[in-house]
Amino acid sequence: MNPGPRDWPDVRKVFEAALPLPPAERRAYIVAACGADRALADRVEALLTAHERADDFLATPAPITEVITTARMEGKRLGPYQLISCIGAGGMGEVYKARDTRLDRTVAIKLLPAHVAHDSQARARFEREARAVAALNHPHICTIYDIGSSNGLDFLVMEYVDGATLRGPMSSEEALRIATQMASALAAAHRQGILHRDIKPGNVMLTESGVKLLDFGLAKAMDAGTDVTFTGAGMLVGTVAYMSPEQAQGCRLDARSDIFGFGAVLYEMLSGHRAFGGTTMPHVLSAVLRDDPPPLWPSSPLEPVIRKCLAKQASERFQTMAEVIHALELVVMTPVQEAPSIAVLPFTSMSPEADNEYFSAGVAEEIINALTQLDGLRVAARTSSFSVAGKSIDVGEIARCLNVGHLLQGSVRRAGSRVRVTAQLVDASKGFQIWSERYDRDLADIFDVQDEIARAIVRRLRWRCHQRRGPARQSDDHEHGGIPGVSQGTGHAL
Annotated active-site positions, please?
198
Query: Which stretches of 270-376 are assigned E, i.e. beta strand?
Result: 341-344, 348-349, 374-375
Is 317 in contact with 262 (CB distance < 8 Å)?
Answer: no
Is 175 in contact with 270 (CB distance < 8 Å)?
Answer: yes
In terms of DSSP bridges, do strands 153-159 and 144-150 run parallel, antiparallel, or are they unpaired? antiparallel
Closest to 262 (Cα-Cα) out of 318, 332, 329:
318
Is 285 in contact with 240 (CB distance < 8 Å)?
Answer: yes
Q: Write the CA distances from 115 to 44, 239, 273, integer angstroms.
A: 23, 19, 33
Cβ count within 10 A of residue 59: 14
* SS3 state of residue 227: coil
How many angstroms separate the CA atoms of 389 and 345, rounded? 7
Is 464 in contact with 440 (CB distance < 8 Å)?
Answer: no
Residues contacting 451, CB < 8 A, separation 6+ = 370, 480, 482, 483, 484
Q: 365-386: string of b/e by CB count within 10 Å (b at 16+)?
A: bbbbbbbbbbeebbbbebeebb
Is 99 in contact with 81 (CB distance < 8 Å)?
Answer: yes
Phi, psi dihedral angles at 465 (to 5 degrees):
-110, 155
* SS3 state of residue 230: strand
How many angstroms separate the CA atoms of 294 and 276, rounded? 9
Terminal alpha carbon distance of the chain: 68
Neighbouring-strand partners of residue 321: none
Residues contacting 257, CB < 8 A, separation 6+ = 195, 197, 243, 244, 246, 247, 314
